[in-house]
Structure 1
Amino acid sequence: MEASKGLAALLLVAGVTMALMDSAGAYVFYAGGRDGWVLHPSESYGDWAERNRFQVADTIVFKYKKGEDSVLVVSKQDYDACDVSKPIRKLDGGDSVFKFDRSGPVYFISGAPGNCQQGQKLVVVVMAVRNCPPISSPPSPPPTSNTPPASSPSPAPVSHGPAPRPFPKPHPPTPAPSAAPVPGSPPPKSSVGAVSGPGISPAPAPVEPASSSSSSSYASNWSLVTVLLLMVLGASSFA
């Protein structure tokens, strides 16, 4: 008993939408839901169509009793005027099936006299087919070239001007001539060493030879002393 109640509830929910999908991915809609193609459905055909989305290749099924009603596919003018005299297509076999083969509005009215004027009419807007953009393949890497990369030009040599001249080595200073020494006076100080520098050793003080004038002066002095001594000795002998 409980299982039958659950099955009935499932059938009720399925009857509200009445849209199935076939193996090709298209949907099958049942016009008017569970009520079918009738004069006074529980939900108006306009409200039912608004809450559904129809696409190309979908199918709509009209359920009615054969011989009592029919489905007419008409133009917008005949739809507005409920004119059943010149339908584009007539479906009257009961459980009529119509497949949408184009986008745009499609107009249906009842073929029974007076039913269209009482609201048994339906307009379905079929959405345009949306083409999916092609999947772009990732860009291929640029072809590798065997040509070696161009070498960057070497920088131009920087000119530093002519090579500097070597610094001349300093020469040892020439000693200045010294004056003749005075007898009894200390020897003069050497001025060597005033100029010094790395790698330069002081020159030794020059040795001055004895002057010939000094020798003659000493000799004359000793002669005078000798004469004086002889005169003193001679005077003492005469006395």
Structure 2
Amino acid sequence: MSIFTCLLLICVTASLSLVSARGGETHVVGGDEGWTQFPNYGDWAQGQTFHVGDTLLFNYDEDLHSVIQVNETAYEDCIKEPNLAAFSSGNDSFRLAEASRQWYICGVGDHCENGQKLSINVLP
């Protein structure tokens, strides 16, 4: 193996270690089902570990759903406004920028009341 190849391999390995230490994982909310009614998002979130630098990706039919980032009270009571952020593109990403508890709900009809909401704990 040439010295160039060895150096390249070392650089790539070091780069991957830095990315993994900073986070950078993308979590597709709801997995294959996406952001829709009736999956248990509490169960889904328990199978994930969220870190600063990771991304939440909400995939859904924009004609049927939306994503609203809210505080804990709004999450518990399904209050849509005021909110921290609202999106309806059908393909919305949230970069997890700080270690904190975060809450998301669907803003359409009674979807939140029917369980279309997500609470996560973001670790450093």
Q: Which amino acid is the alignment partner of residue 88 of structure 1?
A: L
Secondary structure of residue in 1 paired with 2:79: coil
Identity, in percent, stands at: 30
Shift of 1:51: 1.4
Q: Which residue number in structure 1 is paired with residue 100 of structure 2? A: 104
1:175-212 residue CA offsets vs partner (Å, 9 max, x unmatched): xxxxxxxxxxxxxxxxxxxxxxxxxxxxxxxxxxxxxx
Q: Deviations over 1:157-178 (max 9, x none)?
A: xxxxxxxxxxxxxxxxxxxxxx
Aligned twin of 1:63 = 59
1:39 corresponds to = 37
Structure 1 stretches of at least 4 aligned residues deviating more than 2 Å after TM superposition:
none
How many residues are treated as equivalent by the alignment? 105
What residue in structure 1 maps to residue 3 of structure 2? none
Q: Using the alignment, how far apart are the partners of 2:101 and 2:122 within structure 1?
A: 6
Unaligned runs of 5+ in 1: 1-20, 129-239
Partner Cα distance (1:24, 1:111) in 2: 34
Q: Which has the higher contact order (CA 8 A, sep 6+)?
A: 2
TM-score normalised according to structure 1 size: 0.42
Q: Which residue of 2 aligns with 1:113?
A: 109
Distance 2:59 2:75 in 1: 20
Normalised by the length of structure 2, the TM-score is: 0.80
Q: Which has more radius of gyration? A: 1
Q: SS where residue 46 of structure 1 aligns?
A: helix
State how far apart, in whole Å, the 2-side matches of 1:101 and 1:64 are.
Answer: 23
Residue equivalent to 1:83: 79
Distance 2:100 2:44 in 1: 17
Tell me the SS of whatever aligns to 2:62.
coil
Query: Which runs of 5 or more residues in structure 2 are unaligned?
Result: 1-15
More strand by share: 2
